[in-house]
């Protein structure tokens, strides 16, 4: 068996999850200094929660829901991420959702992989900073324009958002996460160079991941943050 020279990190996320955003920004910064190969893997969190029989946990324990929101301002300040909860979280998260955005990211991941990070970041900025919607095709076109995807290409990808192949690929990514034990987001699979896989839940596990792979975790690394606007 040949051993890999780089640690591969599969980062499963949904742009509706603010914790997945925090982890995404943290890992984007660490990606530049750790010897890792990061794969960004958009998955549909509600599908995963359902398959993992974890929907009730999240929505029915009021103290947990309250805590989830209460912790966000300190994380936002720590990492320097301009995070603002939408004024009507139920409408933004449950009613409008992220399925179109995730399907769009799924297409980008296969056809324009370099655009996945700027597109996902712009989606989070819209949903979790500026209170702008991300559930319609026209929003994907606005996002594409902002990050520099030519209109014709963007239009062609938006037209395939509802294609059965796109849906199937998003479901497959969720299933892969579920098979590795996922029950929430972010879900992080670290494939160490000895061929083993280690799974982690949360944006708050990077010090443990650093220890596992023999790297350093000096905290927020705000000096490596992009300009958020």
Ligand X SMILES: N[C@@H](CCC(=O)N[C@@H](CS)C(=O)NCC(=O)O)C(=O)O
Catalytic positions, written as ranges:
17
Quick note: the x/- pattern for ligand X over 20-59, rule CB under 6 A, is ----------------------------------x--xx-
User: Closer to ligand X at the Cβ: 9 or 115?
Assistant: 9
Retrieve residue 10's tokens: 């599969």
Residue listed under structure tokens 């068996």: 1
User: Closer to ligand X at the Cβ: 50 or 163?
Assistant: 50
User: Closer to ligand X at the Cβ: 57 or 131?
Assistant: 57
Segment 54-113, which members bind ligand X (CB under 6 A)? 54, 57-58, 68
Given a contact cutoff of 8 angstroms between Cβ atoms, the answer to whether 112 and 144 are in contact is no
Task: Give, as one character, the DSSP assignment of residue 194.
Answer: T
| CA dihedral for 102, 97, 89, 53, sign (positive or negative) | negative
Nearest to 134 by CA among 93, 74, 106: 93
Retrieve residue 139's tokens: 């929003």
b/e map of 29-46 (b: 16 or more CB within 10 Å)? bbbeebebebebbbbbbb
Q: Evaluate the omega torsion of the peptide bond into residue 78 and state whether it is cis, within 30 degrees of 0.
A: no
Per CB under 6 A, the segment of 76-84, 128-136, 197-205, 213-221 that binds ligand X is 197-205
User: Closer to ligand X at the Cβ: 180 or 193?
Assistant: 180
Per CB under 6 A, the segment of 122-130, 148-156, 166-174, 179-187 that binds ligand X is 179-187
Question: Which member of 86, 184, 189, 190 binds ligand X (CB under 6 A)?
Answer: 184
Residues in contact with ligand X, counted by CB under 6 A, come to a total of 13
The verdict on 185 binding ligand X (CB under 6 A) reads yes
Angle at 134 between CA 101 and CA 13, to 5 degrees: 45
| Residue 196 Cβ vs ligand X, minimum distance, rounded to whole Å | 23
Q: Which residues bind ligand X (CB under 6 A)?
A: 17-19, 54, 57-58, 68, 183-185, 202-204
């Amino acid at each position: 068996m040949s051993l890999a020279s780089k640690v591969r990190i599969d980062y499963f996320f949904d742009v509706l999850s603010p914790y997945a955003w925090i982890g995404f920004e943290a890992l984007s910064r660490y990606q530049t200094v750790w010897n890792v190969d990061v794969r960004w893997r958009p998955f549909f969190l509600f599908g995963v929660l359902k398959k993992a029989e974890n929907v009730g946990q999240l929505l029915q324990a009021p103290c947990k829901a309250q805590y989830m929101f209460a912790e966000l301002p300190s994380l936002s300040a720590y990492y320097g991420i301009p995070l603002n909860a939408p004024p009507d979280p139920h409408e933004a998260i449950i009613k409008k959702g992220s399925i179109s955005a995730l399907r769009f990211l799924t297409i980008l991941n296969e056809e324009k992989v370099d655009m996945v990070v700027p597109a996902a970041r712009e989606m989070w900025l819209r949903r979790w900073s500026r209170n702008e919607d991300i559930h319609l095709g026209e929003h994907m076109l606005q996002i594409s324009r902002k990050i520099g995807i030519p209109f014709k290409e963007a239009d062609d990808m938006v037209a395939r958002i509802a294609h059965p192949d796109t849906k199937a690929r998003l479901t497959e990514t969720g299933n892969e996460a579920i098979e590795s034990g996922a029950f929430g987001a972010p879900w992080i699979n670290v494939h160490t160079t000895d061929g083993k896989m280690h799974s982690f839940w949360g944006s708050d596990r990077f010090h443990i991941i650093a220890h596992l792979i023999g790297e350093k975790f000096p905290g927020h690394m705000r000096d490596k943050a992009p300009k958020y606007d």
